[in-house]
Amino acid sequence: MNSFLFADKPDVIVLTKNATSTDDLVDLRCVPNGVPDNYTYTLWEHTWPGHAPVLRSFSGSEVLRLENLTHGYSGFYTCRVENGARYSRNPNAGVGSAYLQVQGSGHKNCVTLLIPSHKSSNNPFGQNTKA
C-alpha cells in the first residue's frame, strides 16, 4: 500500500486590531494555513492603493509592529509566506493583505481586513469583510 503526502501552499490572512490616534503602535499578524504547517515568513510590503511601487519593505516575520503611527502608515500591508509546497487551487496562496488607514487626531483609526473571496478552511466567510 502506498501512502501519499498532500502538500498545499498556505492561504494567508492578515489580522490586526483597530487603533485610535492616541495609540503609539499597531501589530499586523500574518496567519497562514497550509500543509505542511512549517512556514517561512519571507516579506512584508507596504503599498498605496492604485500605485504599483512598494513604499516600504520589511523583513519577513509573523508579526509586523508599526510604531509612532502617522497618516504615512496608511495603505495595504502584504505578508508573503512559504511552506515548500508547489500546489494550490488558490492563485493567491502564500500572500495575505490588509488595508490600514491612519487618520489624524480626534478620529478613530480604521483597519479593513481583506479576506480572499474563495472559500477555504481558514475563510468560512467566502467574501471580503471589515474588522
Asked whether residue 44 is domain-assigned, the answer is yes
Which CATH number covers residue 37? 2.60.40.10
- Can you give the pLDDT at residue 77? 94
Cβ atoms of 64 and 31 closer than 8 Å: no
Asked whether residue 86 is domain-assigned, the answer is yes
- pLDDT-based confidence at residue 119 (cuts at 50, 70, 90): very low
- Can you give the pLDDT at residue 73? 87
Number of domains composing the chain: 1
3-state class (DSSP) for residue 99:
strand
- pLDDT-based confidence at residue 18 (cuts at 50, 70, 90): low
Asked whether residue 100 is domain-assigned, the answer is yes
Lowest mean pLDDT among 83-87, 106-110, 116-120: 116-120
* Domain interval for residue 62: 8-113
Alpha-carbon span 18 to 27, nearest angstrom: 10
Asked whether residue 59 is domain-assigned, the answer is yes
